[in-house]
Amino acid sequence: MKTIGSLSLTLLLGMTLSASANDSVTEAIDNSKQWAIQTGDYANTRYSELDQINKDNVKDLRVAWTFSTGVLRGHEGSPLVIGDIMYVHTPFPNIVYALDLANDGRILWRYEPKQNPDVIAVMCCDTVFRGLAYADGKVFLHQADTTLVALDAKTGEVKWSVVNGDPTKGETNTATVLPVKDKLIVGISGGEFGVQGHVTAYSIETGEQLWRAYSVGPDDQLLVDPEATTELGKPIGKDSSINTWEGDQWQIGGGTTWGWYAYDPDLNLFYYGTGNPSTWNPAQRPGDNKWSMTIFARDPDTGMAKWVYQMTPHDEWDFDGVNEMILTDQEVDGQQRKLLTHFDRNGIAYTLDRESGELLVAEKYDPAVNWTTGVDMDPASETYGRPTVVAEYSTEQNGEDTNTTGVCPAALGTKDQQPAAFSPKTNLFYVPTNHVCMDYEPFRVSYAAGQPYVGATLSMYPAPGSHGGMGNFIAWDNIKGEIKWSLPEQFSVWSGALATAGDIVFYGTLEGYLKAIDAETGDELYRFKTPSGIIGNVMTYEQGGKQYIGVLSGVGGWAGIGLAAGLTNPTEGLGAVGGYAALSEYTALGGQLTVFELPD
């Protein structure tokens, strides 16, 4: 097993958040009584220093209050809390509520955009939205139709709006945005519609577009320097992307950027991953298909990429690389290093030096993963950094119109977008996972703008030979590259985790349970069943001297698309409907925020 050697882990939260970051955001993050950014901090740790609720008293939690969003479908993301105001979002039509926490949650204002409902048909896997952002007295909403809106945080007044994409081509949005300095970093969805993925910076003050960097294409569109931008320490070279595509396939090559973003203000780099190449039929796009399935480190001022690392070259399974990058500082052989940990859809957990892009650890975080024997970790090898594909599970080698069976993980990955958490008290990562396998049959498909460009039929089911369920919640040691403990779940864990200084970790289940776990042992300390399945991310805040825990419930997302969209054909929902058919026996649609407290 590949390890980093002797490491002493410390939390990046302790790093100096320099003036290079947006001052209003860093000040808000520094106040642990607030929940100022979707992932808790710029480092994406989802860790809170609040400890009023702890492992000794969490068993006494009770519901403090609830709020109905008025919308069904999948509720991902979480509310924000700035001062005494909570900002709550919904899935399409992307309503925003401002609630007065000092006045029984009275609605101060609401914003309900008028969007063309046709956008629903071009949203891949439910009409989810992963949450609002805050900076400089504004709340930012990136709507499903790609309209980016800046709202006055006090009044809800629209300060500016701009359109980031074209839904008629399949470009939509499901992700939150990242405020950095004077810029707002914004991604795009639509990999299943053959779009050319990109990340864009807009002015926080005016909404003016400042730069745009594509995931695939020529160097001037990628915003790379062929000699200065590196992969695993080597320059990527001229036309690094288009040389790995056949003809002009890159123009509809995917690589969308619908995941999470992290930022290191000391290095002045932000980090994110790119999604699957289009189409899902690998035979139609020979080559490595760079830079889909890639971790990017970019300068937010210019958009220029410092380094890249492609995790799944020539993806054959839809293993999008968009999951969050979690930033920590670690001591490596007596030397302090800045690291990045990423739990990829492909079932491999990566640890890299986030300054140089050096690969340090790459290990499976679910023993069911079988499409690869592992990643080549020999720097002298020609295949250094590449996964070794098992021929039996190669959908391309088996050929078009051939059903490749028993591939683990399924296309939704060992973990999808549901974010993990990190605790500096245990030096562990807490990871919600899918324990799911699939059958995958690629077929030839033609591109038409605004129409699905998938080219594969899937079916999903629990990983065989284990606990019979479809999920685990694990504690991961990113130094040793191994699982410390694992909690089996009947269904995938599609909720984002929260770790706190109270020595507990929270997550939600698809049946609707909020659970509290001992951060050290994994022992369950508390559970409460909310009105609908939880795919939201648990958050915490303090108001009036009291700590609260909040979570959105409302089943949906890819795993819950059958319930959310009323689908019944087992292969619908890109294969998820059949795999999660039993979910309807445990929960129903809903849209509610539930807030918990300790009794007085």
Is the CB of residue 503 less than 8 Å from the CB of residue 430? no
Amino acid at 165: G
Question: How many Å apart are CA 410 and CA 433, to the nearest integer?
Answer: 12
pLDDT score of 468: 87
Three-state secondary structure call for residue 567: coil
**Strands 404-407 vs 436-442: parallel, antiparallel or unpaired:** antiparallel
Is the CB of residue 347 less than 8 Å from the CB of residue 413? yes
Question: How many Å apart are CA 452 and CA 130, to the nearest integer?
Answer: 23
Model confidence pLDDT, tens digit, residues 302-340: 999 999 999 999 999 999 999 999 999 987 777 888 999
Model confidence pLDDT, tens digit, residues 339-348: 999 999 999 9
pLDDT at 12 over 70: no
pLDDT score of 496: 98
**What is the DSSP secondary structure assignment for residue 172, as one 8-state letter?**
B
pLDDT at 129 over 80: yes
pLDDT score of 466: 80
Model confidence pLDDT, tens digit, residues 501-556: 999 999 999 999 999 999 999 999 999 999 999 999 999 999 999 999 999 999 99
Dihedral over Cα of 281, 282, 286, 291: its sign:
positive
Is the CB of residue 490 less than 8 Å from the CB of residue 471? yes
pLDDT band at 224 (very low <50, low <70, confident <90, very high): very high
In percent, how much of the chain has pLDDT > 90? 92
Residue 399's CB is within 10 A of a number of other CB atoms, namely: 12
DSSP 22-58: -HHHHHHHH-TTSB-STTSSTT---EE---SS-TTTG
Model confidence pLDDT, tens digit, residues 366-413: 999 999 999 999 999 999 999 999 999 999 999 999 999 999 999 999
User: Which residues are bridge partners to 326 per DSSP?
Assistant: 341
- Across the range 478-490, mean pLDDT stands at 96
Dihedral over Cα of 212, 214, 217, 220: its sign:
positive
Question: How many Å apart are CA 551 and CA 530, to the nearest integer?
Answer: 9
Rounded alpha-carbon distances, angstroms, from residue 173 to 138, 230, 259: 20, 29, 10
Model confidence pLDDT, tens digit, residues 161-174: 999 999 999 999 99
| Burial class, 172, CB count within 10 angstroms (exposed 0-12 / middle 13-18 / buried 19+) | buried
Q: Which strands make up the sheet holding 80-82, listed edge to edge?
A: 80-82, 85-89, 96-100, 106-111
pLDDT score of 331: 76
**136 is known as an active-site residue:** no
| 12-15: Cβ within 8 A, 24+ apart | 12/41, 12/43, 12/45, 12/264, 12/327, 12/328, 12/329, 12/338, 13/41, 13/43, 13/45, 13/47, 13/49, 13/424, 14/329, 14/424, 15/43, 15/264, 15/265, 15/266, 15/329
Report the predicted TM-score, pTM, of the whole model to 2 decimal places: 0.95
pLDDT at 20 over 70: no
pLDDT score of 333: 76
pLDDT band at 21 (very low <50, low <70, confident <90, very high): low
Question: How many Å apart are CA 445 and CA 577, to the nearest integer?
Answer: 22
pLDDT at 89 over 90: yes
Show Cβ contacts of residue 520 under 8 Å, excluding neighbours closer than 6 positions. 426, 503
**What is the DSSP secondary structure assignment for residue 280, as one 8-state letter?**
S
- Across the range 122-144, mean pLDDT stands at 96
pLDDT band at 10 (very low <50, low <70, confident <90, very high): very low
pLDDT score of 9: 33
Model confidence pLDDT, tens digit, residues 238-287: 999 999 999 999 999 999 999 999 999 999 999 999 999 999 999 999 99
pLDDT score of 365: 98
Go through the domains of the chain in sequence order and give each one's CATH number. 7-597 (2.140.10.10)
- Across the range 180-186, mean pLDDT stands at 97
Model confidence pLDDT, tens digit, residues 448-462: 999 999 999 999 999
pLDDT score of 16: 35
Task: Phi first, then psi: give them for residue 103, nearest 5 degrees.
Answer: -140, 55
pLDDT score of 4: 40
pLDDT score of 13: 34
Is the CB of residue 98 less than 8 Å from the CB of residue 559? no
Show Cβ contacts of residue 446 under 8 Å, excluding neighbours closer than 6 positions. none
Q: Which strands make up the sheet holding 513-518, listed edge to edge?
A: 47-48, 498-500, 504-508, 513-518, 524-529
Active-site entry in 318, 366, 439, 477: 318
